[in-house]
């Protein structure tokens, strides 16, 4: 009887874990074939490439050309690795998203001016003396608004003060930051049925 009870409890817990996992997960469309990278242009000002492979999921590439002050190879490598680490995710969704940042000398997606010393960085102007601005500013390049008062916040006022989020003044990542991936995926045909009820919306609070 004790063995049966333990088995019943284990099964019940397994169901709870499975239901809880599925209920909490946001899903992105998955495709039974590879999709070659496509360039997404934002107002003709900057762009990025996005594609899909069955092996690695969504692949996003951002090629950045720097001008002005040369921060050096060590700083550029730190900017690259930190940004890729925070934006790449293997398990947030049902499909991985891999972000690749490249600093290039030509054929860039975006041009950024670098200034030595402290200052308030923007999409296209980065200061070397005010921490690491790149993960946050790359978030803007992926069509995310600021999430702090006085910043470049959403016109509808949503998420205007989220200090812990990356688009605020913190490091926490939210599902909504990947809306740009969901928007692109929605334009592609041939997706298989998603394992979750939905993927992302503009106002997903997670």
Q: 176: which 2 tokens?
A: 């909504």
The region of weakest confidence among 5-9, 93-97, 197-201 is 5-9
Domain boundaries, the chain: 2-186
Tell me the C-alpha distance between 151 and 167, whole Å: 10
Q: What pLDDT is attached to residue 195?
A: 73
Q: What is the average pLDDT value for the chain, to the nearest integer?
A: 85
Tell me the C-alpha distance between 183 and 180, whole Å: 5
| Helix H or strand E segment including 62 | strand 57-68
Q: What pLDDT is attached to residue 27?
A: 85
Give the tens place of pLDDT for each residue, 108-162: 999 999 999 999 999 999 999 878 999 999 999 999 999 999 999 999 989 999 9
Alpha helices in 88-189 (DSSP H): 134-141, 179-186
Give the tens place of pLDDT for each residue, 24-67: 357 899 999 999 999 999 999 999 999 999 999 999 999 999 99
Side-chain-side CA neighbours of 190 within 13 Å: the count stands at 7
By the 8 A CB rule, do 35 and 55 touch?
A: no
Q: 41: which 2 tokens?
A: 């242009």
Tell me the C-alpha distance between 152 and 170, whole Å: 16
């Amino acid at each position: 009887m004790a063995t049966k009870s333990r088995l019943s409890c284990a099964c019940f817990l397994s169901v709870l874990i499975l239901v809880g996992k599925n209920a909490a997960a946001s899903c992105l469309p998955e495709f039974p074939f590879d999709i070659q990278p496509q360039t997404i242009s934002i107002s003709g000002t900057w762009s990025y490439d996005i594609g899909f492979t069955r092996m690695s999921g969504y692949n996003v590439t951002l090629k950045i050309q720097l001008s002005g002050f040369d921060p050096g190879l060590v700083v550029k490598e730190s900017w690259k690795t930190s940004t890729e680490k925070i934006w790449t995710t293997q398990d947030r969704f049902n499909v991985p998203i891999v972000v690749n940042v490249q600093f290039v000398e030509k054929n860039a997606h975006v041009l950024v001016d670098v200034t030595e010393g402290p200052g308030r960085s923007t999409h296209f102007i980065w200061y070397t003396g005010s921490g690491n601005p790149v993960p946050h500013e790359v978030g803007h390049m992926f069509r995310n608004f600021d999430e702090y008062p006085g910043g470049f916040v959403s016109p509808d006022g949503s998420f205007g003060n989220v200090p812990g989020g990356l688009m605020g003044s913190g490091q926490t990542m939210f599902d909504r930051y990947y809306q740009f991936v969901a928007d692109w995926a929605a334009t592609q045909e041939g997706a298989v049925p998603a394992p979750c009820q939905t993927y992302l919306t503009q106002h997903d609070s997670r």
